[in-house]
Structures are given as structure tokens and as C-alpha cells.
């Protein structure tokens, strides 16, 4: 069982090991979120693959969505929001709960596209529904 003492031990070990870690940490994305009570919520990681020219119908998600383009280029637009945009490999987007993902699809007619979607939502509802 995790208690405060175990947590402090883990934190101390991690901070002691930090100077020996290799690599470069580069910020990619930051999105402020409202204050939340997340009892009964879960974080879900979903990989979405679009074949060349493929797209999704307008839809909504039950919670907060952070999308990261793993491969290719993805067309994106939320209803009533900014104009349609193309996100490329290494870029991220955000969808607030209940927003309608109006445009979602592969921007290429020849290459596939892949997205990692992290959806944080209540555990007892479907993650996606038609708009």
C-alpha cells in the first residue's frame, strides 16, 4: 500500500537519480485545465490510424482529449472554434469535454496518419459518441 513514507522514499530516489538521466526534455504542449474532482475518472490511451484520405464523422468525447500526431498529417477542427488546421507529426491538439470534433481525418491522399489520443473521462460512460 502506498503511504506518505513510501512516496517520500520514491521521490528522494527519483531526485537522486535525476542528474544521471540522459537526454533532453523539450516542452511540446501545455493546456490549462479547470479545477477538477476526478473520482471515478480514468485516463485512456487510444491509437487512431487513418488510411490515406480517410476521415471520421463528427463526434464528441466524454472528457478531456490531448491528441499527439505520431505519424503523418491530420486535419482538425472543433465546431464553433478556430478554422480547420493541419497538425503534423510531433504536434498536439486539445479538445475540451463535450466539444464537437467537426473535422478529423488524414490530410494526405497517399500516406497514413496515426494519432495517440489521451482521453481523461468518467469511467462509466462511452468515450466517443456521434455528434
For 31-43, write each residue's pLDDT tens digit: 888 887 889 999 9
Local confidence band at 21 (pLDDT 50, 70, 90 cut-offs): low
| Alpha-carbon separation of residue 5 from 1, 8, 12, 18, 100 (angstroms) | 11, 5, 11, 20, 44
Query: pLDDT at position 14, please?
Result: 46
CA nearest neighbour of 106 among 57, 36, 66, 55:
55
Grid coordinates belonging to 13? 530516489
Query: pLDDT at position 20, please?
Result: 56
CA nearest neighbour of 64 among 121, 112, 12:
121
pLDDT in tens, 98-129: 899 999 999 999 999 999 999 999 999 888 88
CA nearest neighbour of 120 among 11, 58, 31:
31
Section 71-99 average pLDDT: 95
Domain annotation for the chain: domains and CATH numbers: 40-130 (2.60.120.10)
Local confidence band at 23 (pLDDT 50, 70, 90 cut-offs): confident
Amino acid at each position: 500500500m502506498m503511504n506518505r513514507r513510501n512516496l517520500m522514499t520514491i521521490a528522494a530516489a527519483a531526485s537522486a537519480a535525476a542528474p544521471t538521466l540522459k537526454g533532453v526534455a523539450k516542452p511540446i504542449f501545455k493546456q490549462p485545465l479547470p479545477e477538477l474532482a476526478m473520482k471515478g475518472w480514468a485516463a485512456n490511451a487510444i491509437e487512431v490510424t487513418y488510411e490515406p484520405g480517410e476521415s471520421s464523422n463528427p463526434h464528441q468525447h466524454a472528457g478531456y482529449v490531448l491528441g499527439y500526431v505520431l505519424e503523418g498529417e491530420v486535419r482538425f477542427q472543433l465546431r464553433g472554434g478556430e478554422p480547420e488546421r493541419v497538425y503534423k507529426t510531433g504536434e498536439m491538439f486539445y479538445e475540451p469535454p463535450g466539444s464537437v470534433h467537426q473535422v478529423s481525418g488524414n490530410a494526405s491522399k497517399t500516406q497514413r496518419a496515426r494519432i495517440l489520443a489521451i482521453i481523461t473521462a468518467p469511467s462509466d460512460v462511452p468515450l466517443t459518441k456521434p455528434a
